[in-house]
Amino acid sequence: MRNAIQPLLPLLFALCGGAMPAHALELDKTQCVAGAKPGGGFDVTCKLAQAGLLEGRYIQAPMRISYLPGGIGALAFNAFVTQRPAEPETLVAFSSGSLLNLGQGKFGPHDASDVRWVAGVAADYGVVIVAESSPFKTLKDLMTAIKADPSKIVFGAGGTVGSQDWIKSAMTARAAGVHHRNMRLVALEGGGEALMALQGNHVQVYTGDASETATRIAAGAPIRILAVMSEERLPGRLAQVPTAREAGFDLVWPIVRGFYVGPKVSDADYKAWVDVFTRMLASKPFEQLRSERGLYAFSMTGPELDAYVKRSVSSYRKVAEEFGLKVAR
């Protein structure tokens, strides 16, 4: 991590435009790993860190984003536990979907204690999405169609049976009065691919995430959000979108987004990341960056986040069992 030129960094930084801030991480090359293809929630999470760390001058050069798709985060988790456990420059994005998979034992022999949880930086929420050309204008329209003939409505999911998107789809089918085993679903690799399938009319509905969907809509994607899975209407770009509860359906699915590092990252380097995120999360500029990406307030770091993650994994295990999913222990 630190090399022979490290003592020269303050001088080099000064020559390039100013003294290096006292809070800057002494890192050579930082990167964020997204555990799915570009365009999904992990990508949004990494790009948020990339912007916040650079604009707040916590790092000296832009953070690189790399992609390691497979199992909605499972391949990345395994890689950083077994093959890349001591990379202090590397953050790995996680979401509540990652914790759900951990709760089901989908990350193989690994559990929540096998990595070091750095920061939870944003909240997100599930959404029910259709194509702009869809005949379904409201959530009630969609639910009526699902109940009338579930074989005619194909759900898209960023992941296989038991994934976060699958759970949201199963909850939606159940709310419509249809057993989840009777819903039709196509498993795809990540939210970006699922949204493309929706736009291509390969699926009729996708229960995705608010942030990535709002970003796609702002960029002109021909899709429409029927409802948000939140307790109350969300502020910002989706303020006009009703909650599922407003339409009469009890669908609530909050999502937390954040980062972990490998288990052999030193205490000093882990603490450096935690300290930087603690400062950054308390700053107004980061709050603005988060809002611009359609994300919502959530701030938790270090041991507090570690405890939250472990409670969440236990809770998600119970949700999986509720839907009759096999849970490895």
What is the predicted pLDDT for the residue at 24? 64
Whole-angstrom distance, CA of residue 277 vs CA of residue 52: 9
Whole-angstrom distance, CA of residue 174 vs CA of residue 251: 10
- Here the tokens at position 129 are 């999405």
CA atoms within 13 A on the CB side of 324: 5
Say if residues 112 and 307 touch (Cβ distance below 8 Å).
no
Look at residues 260, 197, 255 and name the one whose alpha carbon lies nearest to residue 34: 260
Look at residues 93, 86, 80, 89 and name the one whose alpha carbon lies nearest to residue 29: 89
What is the predicted pLDDT for the residue at 189? 75
Domains, the chain, ordered by start: 29-123+255-322 (3.40.190.150), 125-253 (3.40.190.10)
Tens of pLDDT, residue by residue over 260-291, are 999 999 999 999 999 999 999 999 999 999 99
Tens of pLDDT, residue by residue over 131-177, are 999 999 999 999 999 999 999 999 998 878 888 889 999 999 999 99
Say if residues 310 and 112 touch (Cβ distance below 8 Å).
yes
What is the predicted pLDDT for the residue at 253? 94
Whole-angstrom distance, CA of residue 190 vs CA of residue 102: 17
What is the chain's pLDDT, residue by residue, as a tens digit (329 residues)? 444 333 333 333 333 444 445 566 777 689 999 998 888 789 989 999 999 999 999 998 899 999 999 887 899 999 999 999 999 999 999 999 899 989 998 888 999 999 999 999 999 999 999 999 999 999 999 999 999 999 999 999 887 888 888 999 999 999 999 999 999 999 887 788 888 899 898 999 999 988 888 888 989 999 999 999 999 999 888 999 999 999 999 999 999 999 999 999 999 999 999 999 999 999 999 999 999 888 999 999 999 999 999 999 999 999 999 898 877 65
pTM of the predicted protein model? 0.78
